[in-house]
Structure 1
Amino acid sequence: MTKEYLYKQPKTILNKGTGYLSGYTHTLNPYTGCTFGCAYCYVRQMPVSLFRKGEWGEWVDVKKEAALLLDKELNREKKKGSVRIFMSSSMDPYQPVEYKEEVTRSLLEVFVSNPADFLLIQTRSPLVTRDIDLLKKLGDKVRVSMTIETDDEEIRKHFSPEAPPIQARMNALKKIAEANIPTQVAIAPLPGEV
């Protein structure tokens, strides 16, 4: 499958947390689109995907200068009160393009120097272990949540063939926990969600 990467200059990087994210004041998505392209992803049915040429999983917009924008917006939002961020609500912050672009890493560098009250990182990628050095500096202000669809690799390949294998995710989660970084597992999708 051919992947398309575009570079965009976003006007904002933090979005108000709504709906099931009621415990978070904001969401943060380092990219738009996700090449993992999981079959059950709810973003497939959202306008960002429906009105875009190309199937979900075939394209990604890389957000240029995201770290500068985050620092500015964090300062503004912290003046208003508590800032609790869910990263990411509509894509994986550690999808393959992150190896090269390091947008997520640049955002974590901002959080180290200008921390939010709390940051949850939702991923399914072992690449998150690359940033253990930064995650450790955030202490109890961060938690890494690893999505696990199933314990059956054949089923995983059916629903998310472009995503990392389950065992690689479990190994990454163990490595993060051993670094004393708070972790959790998100079991998704649950029956009835697909």
Structure 2
Amino acid sequence: MIKLTKIKLKSSYLLFLIPLLASFKCVKEPTEYVYKTLDMNLANANTSGTGPLVVENSVPKNAYGIRIQLTFSSPKVNHDYKTHRNEDSVTEFVITSSEGFNGIAPGNSLNHLFSFRKNANQFVGISPESYTNIFSISDENTSDNYLFLAQSPNTPGDYTFHLSATFSDGRVLSKSVSVNLHQ
């Protein structure tokens, strides 16, 4: 009788545990970190030193750069994700100036005059292939990337550069930065 009661109790526990165990789902760690670019802020940079230095509004014309500070949708990344992907890819990225620049009329693309540091030893031109690198995330919810002016203006003076990024969801982020480029 005692053995039969123990068997009944054990089977009762099993009947109770089976639905409970079935309610747990296996949760896999994500391998891809998906984020969205929310905002873009610009600052002038002096690139004459060992690294770009953010400055207010006056830079030697042969050492000009633009810092692009991006804000992303998610807080600090706490996982070792295998890949990172912007939810809305950049479909167009254009740099223009309000002033004429070395024979290029105001409002026309200056992308070919800027480069982007892809890694410590490699600079690449601004092209659709480099958009992903420019709008990439770091381990924080902001990321600083720099564009370097590869061709100095023929004429020193005041310039306003406009950067515009169009995303695959139709959003457009546009910002401007003004600078005095001097000798």
Structure (1/2) with the larger strand percentage: 2
TM-score (norm 2): 0.26
Q: Determine which structure has more spread, i.e. the larger CA radius of gyration.
A: 2
- Structure in which a larger fraction of residues adopt helix: 1
Normalising by the residue count of structure 1, what TM-score does the alignment of the two structures yield?
0.25
